[in-house]
Amino acid sequence: MKHRILNRTSAIFAISFLAVIVLFPLIVHAQVTVSLQQPPPNQLKVADLWRVTLINTSRETQKVYLQGTAKEASAGLIVDAQTTTFTLPPGTKIVTGRDVSPIKVNSSNGRYKNILMQTGTVPAGDYTICVAVKSATNGEELGNDCIEQHVANASLVLINPGDESTVEEDLPVFIWTTTPPLGTGATYTLKLVEVLGNQSPFAAMQSNNAFHMQSDIHTTTLQYPISAPKLIPGRSYAWQVTAFENGAALSTSEVWKFTFKSADTAVPYKLKKKELLTQFEKLYGGAQYDHGWAIESTKDSGYIIAGYTRSFGAGNDDGLLIKLDRSGDVQWARTFGGENDDGFYAVTQVMDGGYAAVGFTRSFDVGNDDIYVVKTSADGQPEYSRVLGGGGFDAGYAVTPSPEDGIVIAGVIGKGDDYDAYVAMLDKGGNPEWAENIGLYECDVAHAIARTANSGYIVAGYTRSGGMGNDDMYIISIGREGTISSISTFGSFLADRAEAITSVGGGSKFVIAGYRPNDQMTDAGDVCLLSIGPNGERIDVRDYNAGSIDKGISITETPDRGVVVAGYNSGDTAKPGGIIAFKTNVDGAVEWSRFYRDSKLDEGYGVVQARDGGYAIAGYSDAGPEGDVILIKTDSKGVVGCTDKDGGVQQVSPRGSFAPFVALADRGIVSRSVSSNTSKPPIKVEQLCPKPTTPEQGK
């Protein structure tokens, strides 16, 4: 067989498997004793691998070489290698990698070779390493040693984007895991580099400057930040993750490669240096009442709005979806429902690029309201419609994608005069996989949901069954299979309700937004921001006086790990209410606040960060004939330029207590598929506020 001579790095790889840990030194021939030295328990790193002691018990200097094999219990033979010839004088010789290079690799497992060369360690497993000393003259074996080593170091395993995959999302989600799992104190650093020319991913990682690097990640998932450099269509990128504990590096992953292909291949959007940021206010609707309840940014830099309409559809209120481009122009619109009232309270873009909306239906219910779920393709074509619930009043208030290309919804299930929080997972075809009713004997409601790094979920809402009195914020941690891990409440003797939740810092914490009456016990009051950890533990709480904001609270993360909160003041006949928004930094301090009010009532129900760095707020406005959907698109400081002014939001002293809560949980799914009963409404658009004309605003 023709042998291949490797460089020094390959030599270290091969030899690293030839010597590991001494369990029992074996003397096969009296001429040479071979002893493999043991590294620290449960690990096997490059620095530990080539430490072998040879004792020549004869009186003659001999020319020898080492023949070594390494096997892993499940993978079989990892490497079969042979060193160069070297001189072994009588007595003891401690052999190093430099003494025995170069190495002839007779055979090797490519995966293990790559892992060791790229990460400096081997994956967890059970290894058997054997080394024999052989005469260079006749190949006679002069001595050998075999040892076994169990490796239980934390191996970093990349999951998504897959190696050599194609990515269409301009903000892809990076997912990895560790074996075994690390503690809560572990952090991760993700490095992304561009692969140039014919570089291998590993070579690119070693030699190229970082395209983007993010440190201090506290979970095993990271969505590519809006603030990071935009991926370039047609380019390939390599990525790698390193785990740290107490500032020390524990493990490094392999290097994987993906190619970015823009989902919007027809017109890939790039924000130019002097291009204007879009700032506008627009109304959408028809001759009657139209209402926006939720908004999400989409992969093509546009928006999807969900709500309901009385202007179009099959009768009374119908669920409404409006897909807009980045300028707020309608790309498509759909109604869903029957002859009675139907509507959507939440919408999300799922893994396949389509959209899932949840809300309520009275057209397809079995008694009172039922949860209404609709899934469409990316261009709005209906794919399924499903109803969940029973004879009580049921509604879906929140939805988020699941890793399995399905969705998880949160809402409420009615039981006589009582209500339970309800969480259910549906597969990609809309078929329920599990569902949980969570509550006690009074009113328990789930209003918001967010996914954690381990594919579990944090659910927030309010409960009247326990806590400090009246309503209290209700926080539920639930696993990917629907198993409840913790339930807690937060509140005071007043009524406290959680309305929205957002993940911050890649899942290192979650911020729940809600409202509570002020100390004068009026119906309206302050905004409460409750920060919790990935397992539901309390981190911090902040209260803000936003001028009696009391409804429609929504929240979104900002690139600097702060949040933007939006809602509205109901006002009165003498002074119409309006939409209010404010931004806090990572420490909770208010950076800016804006109040948006026309001559008539405006209500805000959803806020998201736009791809150009501004914010988009959706809701309802009385400025239209009978009330229309409104979209306010601001710059990065909340400015629109026509109806807005300083909001005057101030931070106030927080109050409330955090306590564990024991609730009853029942598994139960009552669901059925229903007709989509959809139509394409001719949505009319009215622009209330024009785009800015000053080029400096776009810099």
pLDDT value of residue 525: 73
Please state which CATH class domain 280-688 belongs to.
Answer: mainly beta
pLDDT value of residue 639: 92
Q: Which residues of 148-166 are buried (b: 16+ CB within 10 A; e: fewer)?
A: ebebebbbbbbeebeeeee
pLDDT value of residue 555: 95
Instruction: Provide mean pLDDT across the span 12-21.
Output: 43
Q: Where in the chain is the domain with CATH 2.120.10.30?
A: 280-688
Please report which confidence band the pLDDT of residue 114 belongs to, taking 50, 70 and 90 as the band edges: low
Instruction: State whether residue 545 is helix, strand or coil.
Output: strand
Q: Are 412 and 424 in contact (CB under 8 A)?
A: no
pLDDT tens-digit readout, 243-282: 887 777 777 888 999 999 865 433 334 444 333 467 899 9
For domain 155-260, which CATH number applies: 2.60.120.380, 2.60.40.1260, 2.60.40.10, 1.10.10.10? Answer: 2.60.40.10
Going by CATH, does the domain composed of 8-151 fall within 3.40.50.960? no
Q: Where in the chain is the domain with CATH 2.60.40.10?
A: 8-151, 155-260
Q: Is the pLDDT of residue 566 over 80?
A: yes
End-to-end Cα spacing for the chain: 65
What's the pTM value of the predicted model, to 2 decimals? 0.65
Instruction: Provide mean pLDDT across the span 386-397.
Output: 87
Q: What's the DSSP call for residue 612?
A: T
Please report which confidence band the pLDDT of residue 19 belongs to, taking 50, 70 and 90 as the band edges: very low
Please report which confidence band the pLDDT of residue 684 belongs to, taking 50, 70 and 90 as the band edges: very high
Q: Are 209 and 191 in contact (CB under 8 A)?
A: no
Q: What's the DSSP call for residue 585?
A: -
Q: Is the pLDDT of residue 384 over 90?
A: yes
| Least confident window among 337-341, 409-413, 670-674 | 670-674
> 239: which strand partners?
192, 256
> Which secondary structure element, helix H or strand E, spans residue 168, and what is its range?
none
Q: How far apart are CA 45 and CA 373, in angstroms?
A: 51
Please report which confidence band the pLDDT of residue 18 belongs to, taking 50, 70 and 90 as the band edges: very low
Sheet holding 173-179, edge to edge: 155-160, 173-179, 221-223
Closest by CA position to 83, among listed 15, 7, 9, 1: 15
Please report which confidence band the pLDDT of residue 80 belongs to, taking 50, 70 and 90 as the band edges: confident
pLDDT value of residue 44: 62
- With tokens 């209010």, the residue in question is 580
Instruction: Give the 3-state secondary structure percentages of the chain, helix then strand then coil, rounded to 5.
Output: 5, 55, 40
- Between 446 and 600, name the one with better pLDDT: 446
Q: Are 368 and 414 in contact (CB under 8 A)?
A: yes
- With tokens 């404010």, the residue in question is 582
- With tokens 């927080």, the residue in question is 654
Question: 699 Cβ partners below 8 Å, 6+ apart?
Answer: 273, 274
Cα radius of gyration rounded to whole Å, the chain: 31
Please report which confidence band the pLDDT of residue 98 belongs to, taking 50, 70 and 90 as the band edges: low
Q: How far apart are CA 244 and CA 239, in angstroms?
A: 17
